[in-house]
Amino acid sequence: MAEEHPGPLSGMRVIELSSFVAAPLGGMTLAQLGADVVRVDPVGGGPDARRWPLAPSGRSLYWAGLNKGKRSVTVNLRSDRGRDLVAALVTAAGTVVTNAPPRPGLTYEELRERRADLVYARLLGHHDGRTAVDYTVNAEVGFPLVTGPAHHDGPINHVVPTWDVACGLYLAIGLLAADRQRTATGRGRRMEVALHDVALATAGNLGFLAEAQLSTTGRPRIGNDLYGDFGRDFGTADGRRVMVVVLGERHWRDLVAATGLARVVSALEQALPADFRRESDRFAHREALGGLLVPWFAGRTLSDLEETFAGTSVLWSPYRAFEELAADGAALLRAQPLMAELSQPGVGPHLAPGSPLVLDDLRVPPAPAPELGEHNAEVLAELLSLTPGEVAALRADGVVG
């Protein structure tokens, strides 16, 4: 299979000097597309080696999840010889992705002197080099103050580290773009992306900043309601909650038809007056419309809803807990070809995702994360032609793990 369908990035080699989410996710995304990604850590592991959540064994599920399919090399980064070894690996690979503060010998300028066409992709907290993490960046750009119930006072943080995830993917994009240019012109590039810039750019791209600047009313805190059309959550007869989303006239028409509320909705439309074919009127009167729908949903079970909405354009989903998703592994594996059972050393078999990028219908199943330092001898031999004796000497001297 690997020979018939090599990953699209096969032949690309990346050295990753990273920790936590963004840079590791960027590297993993490249690895899942066929690149050879070598994560370099201090001997004993980086600051994320024991980050929660943990497996019952104490191993970090977070580390295992974000470093799947890479090779691992451990080096004493406090020693000149260790850093020189890493610089040599970067020189051999030609491409590096990092969120580590540049140590002596490993700055862009020094690395580029060793390899003129280096592609160097670096994650920053703020553009000026000040540190930041997803949680602090999220606080700064406005989202927590418009998240949650209208009556809530104070910020509500998101649980998904959106900026970390987006930043990791931006890193991969920048690196691939720079690599493309290098292939065409022979020229390397230094690429930087800051977590805070990604958050601010997203707030801008989605119109939140322009709205705050140009609108006189500002964005209200609207709980689980959809902004600018009709969407909200409802309770069902069997104690579940579902999210229902209307985006455009067709969805609305189908929702009204499926729920049999055409007559009462039309009466409301005439009495107000309003025109519910328009998104602005659906949004303005969302409480009244929601009020009509609440008893309809409350009288139906999840399976009633599945039956009623089948074949319509109505967009809806039940809310599910992580526990519910994971409770029936066999069902999850059947329904979601993304998922596979992965045997991860130190953790044991568990459900893990492959790459969400599917090329020519070919799913790439998840590969285990490496053990720390698992590939020291192998990588030093392959990239730097070191003999087993030379690697053993480096290990004896405490230069590699």
Report 342-371 residues binding a second copy (CB under 8 A): 347-348, 350-361
Check if 164 is active-site.
yes
Q: Which of residues 18-77 bind a second copy (CB under 8 A)?
A: 20-21, 25, 28-29, 33-34, 47, 50-56, 60-62, 64-66, 68
What are the φ/ψ torsions at residue 221 (nearest 5 degrees)? Answer: -85, 120
Q: Does the bond joining 273 to the residue before it have cis omega, within 30 degrees of 0? A: yes
Nearer to a second copy, 105 or 142 (CB): 142
The residue from 36, 41, 134, 164 that is catalytic is: 164
Please identify which residue in 129, 157, 267, 334 interacts with a second copy, judged by CB under 8 A: 157
- Which of 275, 286, 169, 270 lies closest to 223, judged by CA? 286
207 belongs to the binding site for a second copy (CB under 8 A): yes
401 Cβ neighbours under 8 A, 6+ residues apart: 43, 44, 74, 75, 76, 372, 373, 376, 395
Q: Which of residues 160-199 bind a second copy (CB under 8 A)?
A: 160-162, 165-166, 169-170, 172-174, 176-181, 183-184, 189-194, 197-198
- The three-state secondary structure class of 164 is helix
Give residue 66's Cα distance to chain centre. 10
Burial tier of 387 (Cβ tally within 10 Å: 0-12, 13-18, 19+): exposed
Region of 2 please: left (phi>0), alpha (psi -120 to 50) or beta. Answer: alpha
Please identify which residue in 213, 273, 311, 389 interacts with a second copy, judged by CB under 8 A: 213
Q: Which of residues 373-392 bind a second copy (CB under 8 A)?
A: none
Site size toward a second copy (CB under 8 A) is: 146
Q: Which of residues 99-128 bind a second copy (CB under 8 A)?
A: 127
112 Cβ neighbours under 8 A, 6+ residues apart: 118, 120, 188, 190
Q: Which stretch binds a second copy (CB under 8 A): 76-84, 221-229, 284-292, 374-382?
A: 221-229
Please identify which residue in 233, 304, 382, 390 interacts with a second copy, judged by CB under 8 A: 233
Cα–Cα dist 209/126, whole Å: 18
Minimum gap (Å) between residue 224 Cβ and a second copy: 5
Nearer to a second copy, 137 or 400 (CB): 137
Q: Which of residues 250-269 bind a second copy (CB under 8 A)?
A: none
| Cβ count within 10 A of residue 375 | 19
Please identify which residue in 226, 268, 377, 383 interacts with a second copy, judged by CB under 8 A: 226
Please identify which residue in 104, 154, 186, 389 interacts with a second copy, judged by CB under 8 A: 154
Cα–Cα dist 128/118, whole Å: 22
- Which of 34, 37, 64 lies closest to 364, judged by CA? 34
Minimum gap (Å) between residue 271 Cβ and a second copy: 25
Q: Which residues are catalytic?
A: 164
